[in-house]
Amino acid sequence: MDIRTVITSPFGDQRPGTSGLRKKVSVFQQPHYLENFIQATFDALSDYAGGTLVLGGDGRYYNPAAIQIILKMAAANGVGRVLIGQDGILSTPAASCVIRKHQAFGGIILSASHNPGGPEGDFGVKYNTANGGPAPEKVTEAIYRRSTELTQYRIAVAPDIPLDRRAHHRLSGMAVEVIDPVADYAQLMEALFDFNRIHALFNSGLFHMRFDAMHAVTGPYARAILEERLGALPGTVMRGTPLEDFGGGHPDPNLTYADELVTIMNRSSAPDFGAASDGDGDRNMILGSHFFVTPSDSLAVLTANATLIPGYADGLAGVARSMPTSAAVDRVAGAMGIPCFETPTGWKFFGNLMDAGKVTLCGEESFGTGSNHVREKDGLWAVLFWLNLLAVRRESVEEIVRQHWAVYGRNFYSRHDYEAVNAAAAHDLMAALRTRLPSLPGETFGAYTVATADDFSYTDPVDHSVSGGQGLRILFQDGARIVFRLSGTGTEGATLRLYVERYVRERSAHQQDTQVAVAELLTIAERIAGIRRRTGRDAPTVIT
C-alpha cells in the first residue's frame, strides 16, 4: 500500500455543530482543510481498523472530489471496507439505514442539508456513529480537539474509484463497494408501511399527489418508491434530478422556498396531497389541497394515528420533540398515557432515547420528523406515513387535521427566521435578553403574564449528560410561550429564530389565521428583544 504522510497545520474553525462541520465550498477547497477534518475524525475514533464505513452525500457541488479524498484517507487509516452510494448519492436517512443494516462502525455524510449549493454555496461533513445517528457531543468535541493539534494526515496514492455504476473495487487493500443508494432504504420502508394499500389509493384514480424533490437527493428515492413501486402517476415527482446547485434553488422544504409546489397545491384543481423534502432528504413539508400542515401538528397527528400503520400497530413506547417545537404532541402523549420528552434541537438527543427504548416517534419544528427505524429525521418516511394514513382513513389532509384539533385543541404556532443576520448583533441581542430573563417573571404584557423565563438546559435521562444554553424561553401563565434561539445550520452570519405559540381549546376559534392568532405574542417578542433595533431587520426572511 502506497501511503503518503502530508505535513499540515491546524485550522481554528473546525468545531462541528449540531449537524457536523458546515462552511462555504471555498473554505473546504482550501489546501488541507477537508483532509485535516477527516484525519481528525479518524484520530478521534477507536476500534475501527478493518471495519466498514458508509460514505455518501446529497450530490451537491464538491461532493465527487471530497468523496475521492475521503476514500483514499480511509484506506490510509486502516478502514477495511467502504459502502458508497452510486454516484456518491446517499440521503441522510438512507445512510443511517445502511450503517445499521450492514453493522458499519460509522458513516461520513457529505451534506449541508437545506443550505444552498453550487460553487458559491455551502458544503458540510458529518460523522454518524454505529447506531446510525449523528455523533454525540463527546465525539464531536474529540474531533475538534484533535483538529486543533493536527500536524499531519495520511492519504493513499491511488487512482480515483469510478462511482457511476454498482461494482466492487480495491483501493490500496481496502474494499470499496458501490451500492444501489435506494435499495436498502426502500426495503425498510416496505417493512413499515402497507404498500399494497397505498398502491390501491393511487390506483383508484381518485387520488393525486405531487412531490417536490427540489433537485436534491430524494428525487431518485421518490421516483423509485412513489412512482415505480406504489403506482403514482409519472411526473408526480417534480424537480427529481439531483443537481450540484439544486437548480439554483434553496433546498429547504418550506412555504417560501418550495413556492412552486405551494402554488400547485393552492390551485382550483389542486392535487389531494403535496409534499417536499430538502437537500439531504431528512426534512419534509406536508400539504393538503389549500392546506398547510405545520411540522408540529404533523408529529401530533402521526402520534395519534400511529396504530393504524403496520410498523407501529403495537403502540408507541413514547415520543419526543425538540424544545422549540410546539407542545401539540404533548397533549396527544398525555391522552395516550405515554411519556413525552423535551430535548434540545439536534437529532443526536433523540438517538439516545431511541437506543434506550424510551421513544418511538420524534420530531422538530424545523420540518424534521422520524422514528426509531433509523437514527435520523426522515423526509420520505414522513410522506409515506401520511400516505398510509390517508389510504386507511380515506379523508382529506385538512379533514384529518381539523378533526385532530377538535379532539386535542389547536396550538397556534409560528417560526420567524432572520437569516444571515450580523453575527455580533445577533449574539448581542441574545446576551441582552439572557440578562433580562430573571426580571421577567410576574411582568404583564397586555393579556399575557410571564410565569417563568429561562435559558433551556437538558439533562439526558440515559447518559445524564447536561446540555445548557439551548434557547431562551419566556413562558406565560396561560401556556403561551416565546422562544429565541440562534441556529447552528447556517454558514453566513447568524440565523436568529423566533418561535411563538398559543394554545386554544375552543373549537370555534380554530379557524382563524395563525399569524393573526399569534400577533400579540409577536408584538411582545419585539418589545422584549428589540429585534428590529438590534438587527436592522424590518421583517423575517422566512415565516412558517
Q: Which residues are catalytic?
A: 113
Instruction: Please work out, in degrees rounded to the nearest 5, the angle formed at the alpha carbon of residue 493 by the alpha carbons of 487 and 494.
Output: 20
Spatial distance between the Cα atoms of 403 and 409, rounded to a whole number of angstroms: 10
8 A C-beta contact, residue 534 and residue 423: no
Which amino acid is present at 507? R
8 A C-beta contact, residue 81 and residue 171: no
Contacts of 84 (CB under 8 A, 6+ apart): 54, 55, 56, 67, 71, 90, 163, 176, 177, 178, 179
In the 8-state DSSP scheme, what is residue 308?
G
C-alpha cell at 252: 429547504
In the 8-state DSSP scheme, what is residue 159?
P
Task: Give the pairing of strands 481-487 and 494-504.
Answer: antiparallel
Q: Round to the nearest angstrom and report the end-to-end CA distance of the chain.
A: 53
Within 13 Å of residue 458, how many CA atoms lie on the same side as its CB? Answer: 25
Closest to 90 in 3D by CA, of 7, 163, 154, 145? 163
Instruction: List Cβ<8 Å contacts ≥24 apart for 161-166.
Output: 161/68, 161/71, 163/64, 163/67, 163/84, 163/86, 163/87, 163/88, 164/86, 164/87, 165/86, 166/86
Spatial distance between the Cα atoms of 113 and 495, rounded to a whole number of angstroms: 15
